[in-house]
Structure 1
C-alpha cells in the first residue's frame, strides 16, 4: 500500500488549531491541573520551583501523547511559576510547532517565536544541555508565518541531531531528534519497495537506541509504533505491549498499541485498548472541557478504531454501539466545511456496520442523507443495493448501483478526502465494483461477479495506507465467497490467504479459507484453520455461513 508523498495537512486540523489558539489567548482560562496517571517520566530542568518542574514533566509527557494543546497549558503554567525558566519557554515553543499529524498553524507563530526568544534570553541561567535544546529549537521558528516551512523543519532536525550526538545519554534529546526527522516527512517513511527511506532508517536506529537504554520511554515507544506500523508492524509488538500501561492518564498513548494490534491480528487487544482509551478521554473531557484538535480528531479516532477492531472480531454489538456513538458526535455543519471530509466518513460508519453484518431490513429503513452530502449518499446507495441484492430485488439493486456509480464518478468527490489520504471518490469506486460483483453473484453470473470483484480488489489495494482502513470490508472477502460459489476453490484459497496477509487471523477470511481447503480435500489444513477460527471468533456475536453476509 502506498502513502501520499506529501504532508498530512488537513484543514480539519487547521480549523481545530484555530479554535484552540483563539481560546489560548483568553487570559480567563483556568489554571492547568495536574493530571492523574501521567507516568514517571522525568526531565530535570533548571528551576527553583518544584511545581514548575512538575508542570514541565507533565507538559512533555502530554506532548509525547500528542495532546499538544493541553501540553501548552502545562508549559504556560510552569512559566507563571518560574518566570526565569528558560526550558519552560522552550517547552511552550516546542508544542506550538508542527507534528506528524498537523502543520503549524499560522496563529501559533507569534507565540512560538516569542517563547523561544524568551528562552534564548534566559538561556544564560540554564546548563549547557538546555542551551543546546534552546538553540536547536530556535532554528525552527521565524517571526512571521511561512507558506513553506520545510527548510525550517529540516534545520531543526539537523540541529537536534547534533544535540543528540553531543548528549548520548539524554534520551529525550534522541527522541526529539527522531520526531524532528519524522516531521520532515510525515507518514512518508517507506519506499514503494517497502524499505525504509534513508531518514527513516536514522529514525529507527535512534529510537532503537533509546529503547535499548530505557524500554519504558513513552515518546520513543509512541514514535516507534508510528514509524513501522504501515510496513513492519511486527517490529513494534513489544513497544505496543509496553506503551499501553506507561501513561494511563493519556488516552492517546493508551490507544496507540492498537495501531499494532490491528495489524498483527490481535483484534481483542485492539478492542480492549480502545475501550480503555475512550474511558480515559471521556474523564479528561469531563474534567477539562477541552476544545481543539484533541477532542475533534484524536477522540473520534479511538471510537473509529474500536469499531473497526470489533468488526474484525465479529462483535456486532460493540461495533454497532461504537459506530452509532461516533456518528452521533459529528457536527452536521462542520462536516460540510472544505477539508472536513473525514467527518462525513465518521458519519457514515453505521452504514458500514449494517453492510458488514447483513442488517438488510435496517439498511432499507435508514434515512437518506442530505443531498449535498454526496459521499454518505453514495454509501447509502451502496448499502441499499446490497440489501436489495440479498432480497433478490435486482431491478431495485441495479437502480441503487446506477445512483452509486454516478456519485463514484463525480469530480467534486476528488476534493472530499479522508485525512487527505484517500479521496471519497476512490472509496465509492471500490463500493461500486463490490456491488456490481455481488449483484452478478446473486444472479449466478459467476464470471462477471469474479471479474468485478477482482477489479474491486485492485482499487482497494491502490488506496493509500490509513488506520483504520478507509475501505472497511475487504474486497477479497467478497471475492473469495464468489469464487467458492463458482467452485473455483484454489482461487478462493488464494484470495483468503492474501486477505489474511493484510488482516492476520481475521475470522471472516479464516472461515472462508477453511471452506476452500475442505472443498479441495485438504482436511488436515482445514481442521487447523477451523481451530484458528474458533480461537479468534470467541468474542463474536454472529455466526457465519460465508466470508460475507
Structure 2
C-alpha cells in the first residue's frame, strides 16, 4: 500500500499569513538555506547538487538526498563524494534504523563506486569513505551483525573527529553515527536520565554548533538529542535558529515545535507547523513524494493538533485532526486485515479527531462521528471505542458505555504481539484502558451523588482515582514521544477527581507535576487555580488564573475545569 500524496489544504483560521507567504516565496525559489560543504569536483552544478543532498539528509529526507547525490554523480563522473552521499543516505537512520535488502544493496553498490574514485579525493574525503565502508555489507546481516557494522562506523568516525576536531561536518556525522546506535533510547524511560554515551553526543553537537552556529544537521540532531531529557529548554537556541533556516524543508521548519511544546510556547509551535505545512505544499506540487515523507507530513499536522489543544484552540485542533484523515482511505484496502508495517506508527495517530472531541467535551459529536476507523487500524479502533465509552458515561448512558469499553478491550486484544513498535503501542493502550475506566467510574460517582447516594458515590470515586492513578503510572513510564500519546494528559482528569474528593493538596500536586511536564498549558493552570483557591491560597490562585487567561486561545469558550467531562462538578470552587 502506498501512502497518498496528501494535498495540504487545511483551512486553519490561525494561520500567520505573513509568515506563510514568506515561506512560500522562499520555497518557490528553491531555498535550501545556507549549508555548503566544499568537495572535490570540477562541476559547480555537481557541488550545488551535493549541498542539496546534504541538506535533504539533514532534514531526514534521505530519498530526496539520494536523488540529489545521484544527480551530482552524473554531473561529475569522477566525484567520489557524490557516491559517498548515496551510500550514507541509503544506510541506517535515526528514525529508520532497520535496513531493507534494497537499501543495503544500494549502500554497498554506491560505496564500490566511491572507492573506484577514491584517488580523486582529499585526505579527509578518503577518510570519510573508508570510515563509511565499515557500515556496509553486500547483503543485510542479522540484527547483531547490523549492530556491529553500525558500531564499527561510529568508532571510525570517532577517530576521524578526534583528528579533525574543528570540522563541523565530521562532528555532525559522528554525533549522528552515535545516535543511530541507540535510536530514541538516549534517556531512561520515566526519569529521563541520560544513558551511556548520550552526554558525549550532546557535547559533540554543542562543539559543532560553536564552530558552525547555523549547521542545519547539528541543530536538528541537537533538538532530538536533548528533547527527551530533563532539560529540553537548553535546545531553545537551536529551535529558534532552525525555524526558517531551510525554507524548502517542511520537517526542518516543524522541528522547533518539538522544543516549543516542551517549554509551553504553544503559539510558536502552532506557527512552526503551519509554516511546515506550507513548505510541504510546495514540495508535493513539484515532487514525487517518497512514501516515508508522507508520514513526516502527517506528523507535522499531529503536532499542530496537540499544540492547539493545549492552549484551547479547538477549531484549529479539529481542522488539523480532520485533515489527517484526508485521503486516508488510500492507505488501506477497503477491508484491510492489517496496516502496512512501514506505516503502522500512523495507527497511533489517527485517533486525533476523537481525542479532540473528548478534549473539548463534544460528547454527542463523538458518538455521532461519521469518521469510523477501518478494522485494519486496530490501535485507533481501540481508542475510538474507549473515547465513545467515556462520551456515553458523561451522558449517563452506562449500558452503552460498558459496551464500548468492552469493545475497546477486545480491539486491544487484536493487536498482534509483533506489531511494529509494540512497546509504544502497549504503553498507549495501557494508559487508554485505565484512563477510560477511571473516567467511567468518575461519571458513575457523579450519577450516584445526584441520586443522593453518598456511599455509592464515594465508592465509585475511589475506583476512579485508583484507575486514573494507574493510568498516570503508565503515562510516566512511557517512552518519550512527540507529541505524547494520548494527547490529553491523564493528570487533567485525575486533578478533577482529587478536587471532587476534597483532596485539594493532591490536586495541586498533580497540576504542578503536569505544568512541569507541559509548562504554560491552560488546562492545568485553570485546575491549579481551583486547587489553590480551595486551600484559601488566594494570591497564588489569582496568579495561576491570570496565567491561564494569558495562554488560553479561545476566549469565547473559557473552561471551568481541567477536564470537561466534569465541568460543573466543582462549580462552587471554579467560579471566579
Any residues of structure 2 matched to 1:130-169 within 5 Å, and which? 130-148=125-143, 149-169=146-166
Which of 523, 542, 548 pairs up with 1:533?
Answer: 548
CA positional deviation for 1:417: 5.2
Which of 119, 122, 130 pairs up with 2:114?
Answer: 119
Provide the C-alpha distance between the structure 2 equivalents of 1:351 and 1:415, rounded to a whole number of angstroms. 26
CA positional deviation for 1:246: 1.5
1:548 equivalent to 2:563? Answer yes
1:110 equivalent to 2:113? Answer no
Could you say what secondary structure the match of 1:469 adopts? coil
Structure 1 residues 540, 173: closer, same or farther in 2, change over 3 A? Answer: farther
1:278 equivalent to 2:262? Answer no
Q: Which runs of 4+ in 1 moved over 6 A?
A: none
1:349 equivalent to 2:384? Answer no
CA positional deviation for 1:272: 0.6
Which of 69, 80, 94 pairs up with 1:75?
Answer: 69
Any residues of structure 2 matched to 1:84-99 within 5 Å, and which? 84-99=78-93
CA positional deviation for 1:141: 0.5
- Measured against aligned partners, the alpha-carbon deviations of 1:442-482 in whole angstroms (never above 9, x if no partner) come to 33422222222212212222322111111111111101111
1:337 equivalent to 2:331? Answer no
Q: How many residues align?
A: 518
449-458 vs 327-336, greater mean Cα deviation: 327-336
Which of 225, 228, 236 pairs up with 1:227?
Answer: 225
State whether residues 188 and 194 of structure 2, in contact with CA within 8 Å, keep that contact through their aligned partners in structure 1.
yes
CA positional deviation for 1:35: 6.6
1:208 equivalent to 2:167? Answer no
Structure 1 residues 202, 540: closer, same or farther in 2, change over 3 A? Answer: farther
Provide the C-alpha distance between the structure 2 equivalents of 1:97 and 1:145, rounded to a whole number of angstroms. 11
Structure 1 residues 59, 373: closer, same or farther in 2, change over 3 A? Answer: closer
Could you say what secondary structure the match of 1:421 adopts? helix
- Measured against aligned partners, the alpha-carbon deviations of 1:201-231 in whole angstroms (never above 9, x if no partner) come to 2111111111112211111111010011011
Provide the C-alpha distance between the structure 1 equivalents of 2:555 and 2:121, rounded to a whole number of angstroms. 57
Any residues of structure 2 matched to 1:285-434 within 5 Å, and which? 285-295=284-294, 297-330=295-328, 331-333=330-332, 336-337=338-339, 339=341, 340-367=343-370, 368-371=372-375, 373-408=377-412, 410=413, 412=415, 414-416=417-419, 421-423=424-426, 425-434=429-438
Structure 1 residues 373, 287: closer, same or farther in 2, change over 3 A? Answer: closer
Q: Give ranges in structure 2 of 5+ residues lacking alignment.
A: 4-26, 450-456, 565-576
Could you say what secondary structure the match of 1:114 adopts? helix
Aligned residue for 1:494?
A: 509
Structure 1 residues 351, 34: closer, same or farther in 2, change over 3 A? Answer: closer
Aligned residue for 1:469?
A: 484
Provide the C-alpha distance between the structure 2 equivalents of 1:435 and 1:449, rounded to a whole number of angstroms. 7
Provide the C-alpha distance between the structure 2 equivalents of 1:527 and 1:319, rounded to a whole number of angstroms. 28
TM-score, scaled to structure 1: 0.90
Provide the C-alpha distance between the structure 2 equivalents of 1:196 and 1:372, rounded to a whole number of angstroms. 37
State whether residues 314 and 554 of structure 2, in contact with CA within 8 Å, keep that contact through their aligned partners in structure 1.
no
RMSD: 2.2
Q: Give ranges in structure 1 of 5+ residues lacking alignment.
A: 1-11, 17-32
State whether residues 387 and 436 of structure 2, in contact with CA within 8 Å, keep that contact through their aligned partners in structure 1.
no
State whether residues 207 and 224 of structure 1, in contact with CA within 8 Å, keep that contact through their aligned partners in structure 2.
yes
TM-score, scaled to structure 2: 0.85
State whether residues 176 and 221 of structure 2, in contact with CA within 8 Å, keep that contact through their aligned partners in structure 1.
yes
CA positional deviation for 1:326: 0.5
Aligned residue for 1:182?
A: 179
Structure 1 residues 432, 420: closer, same or farther in 2, change over 3 A? Answer: same
Provide the C-alpha distance between the structure 2 equivalents of 1:47 and 1:315, rounded to a whole number of angstroms. 51
Provide the C-alpha distance between the structure 2 equivalents of 1:386 and 1:478, rounded to a whole number of angstroms. 12
Provide the C-alpha distance between the structure 1 equivalents of 2:374 and 2:303, rounded to a whole number of angstroms. 26
State whether residues 347 and 378 of structure 2, in contact with CA within 8 Å, keep that contact through their aligned partners in structure 1.
no
Structure 1 residues 333, 411: closer, same or farther in 2, change over 3 A? Answer: closer
